[in-house]
Amino acid sequence: MTTIKDQYFSGERPLYASRDLQLSNVTIGEGESGLKESRGVEAVGCRFEGKYVIWECEDVECRNCCFAASDRAPLWYDRNLRMYGCLIDAPKAFREIDGLTIGNVRMSDGTEAFWRCRGGQISGLRMENGSYPFFQSENLRIHQLRLVGKYAFQYARHIEIRNAVLDTKDAFWESKDCVVYDSELKGEYLGWYARNLRLVRCHISGTQPLCYCRNLVLEDCTFAPDADLAFEYSSVRATIIGKVTSVKNPLPGSTICEKPQTE
């Protein structure tokens, strides 16, 4: 493995098509496609400022790295990408990734992040300003996600989420086969047109949740007072702890059971 330490690179494709490369305290500055089409890269304590820095790469691990706001669309079309303890200020990060591992990553700009990502584990992700995050992504297991934004998980497939706080309008629209455990779901129009959405021990707030769904299942969920006009034109099986402010026109055959809230 080749090691590069304490250096600065800039311009067009400065480390293009690298193989078995270890970067330590390296900055890839102004320019484009710094590591494009590289394989077997380990980056520790590095800073990425140029555009499109990690595209079409395979077997890349970044630890304690920073992706600056100027590094637009930094991580696209990669395979087996691992990120630990990184700070990402760049918009449009993570697109068309196959095989993704995330641990304790912070994102200040979640604009169009995680589009069409397939397969992986995400833990301890903090995302601000998320706009359409996780669009059409599939086969992801997510733990301890903290997300503030809008339109999350639209058209997503086979997503498992645990211990999350999602403050996002229009989450899970047109999603399929998603399950959420022990999480807080805030925002208007949650889960409209979802198929096979399952919510377990979740707290739901925001107007008109869970309408036009098919095969919707809720297990021991709670509803905030503002979560009104729920379940319109949905087929639903629900056990709810406490009360729902209002339910409107669920489909025939639906069952909604309210259980008393215990202290």
Conformation bin of residue 70: beta by default, left when phi > 0, alpha when psi is -120 to 50: alpha
How do the pLDDT tens digits run along the chain, 263 residues long?
899 999 999 999 999 999 999 999 999 999 999 999 999 999 999 999 999 999 999 999 999 999 999 999 999 999 999 999 999 999 999 999 999 999 999 999 999 999 999 999 999 999 999 999 999 999 999 999 999 999 999 999 999 999 999 999 999 999 999 999 999 999 999 999 999 999 999 999 999 999 999 999 999 999 999 999 999 999 999 999 999 999 999 999 999 999 988 75
248 neighbors 230 (Cβ within 8 angstroms) = yes
Contact 72, 91 (CB under 8 A): yes
Predicted confidence at residue 262, as pLDDT, reads 72
CA dihedral 139, 223, 128, 52 (to 10 degrees): 20
Residue 1: what pLDDT?
87
SS3 labels along 191-231: CCCCECCEEECCEEECCCCCCCCECEEEEEEEECCCCCCEC
- Residue in this structure with the two tokens 């400065």, named with its chain if needed: 14
Distance CA 63, CA 256 (A): 47
**Which three-class secondary structure state does DSSP give residue 27?**
strand
Q: Report residue 141: phi and psi, to 5°.
A: -110, 125
CA distances from 145 to 54, 137, 180, 239 (A): 24, 15, 11, 25
User: How confident is the model at residue 263, as a pLDDT?
Assistant: 56
Task: Give the pair of three-digit tokens for residue 97.
Answer: 């990734």
Grouping H, G, I as helix, E, B as strand and the rest as coil, residue 245 is coil
Nearest of 185, 255, 174 to residue 212 by alpha carbon:
174
Task: Give the Cα separation of 85 and 202 in Å (integer).
Answer: 28
Q: How many CB atoms lie within 10 A of CB 59?
A: 16
Radius of gyration (C-alpha) of the chain in whole angstroms:
21
Q: What integer pLDDT is reported at residue 260 of this predicted model?
A: 87
pLDDT at 4: 98
Report whether 179 contacts 153 (CB < 8 A). no
In angstroms, the CA 209 to CA 191 distance is 7
Q: Which two tokens stand for residue 162?
A: 């645990």
CB 53 within 8 A of CB 33: yes
> Hey, CA dihedral for 66, 123, 153, 249, is it positive or negative?
negative
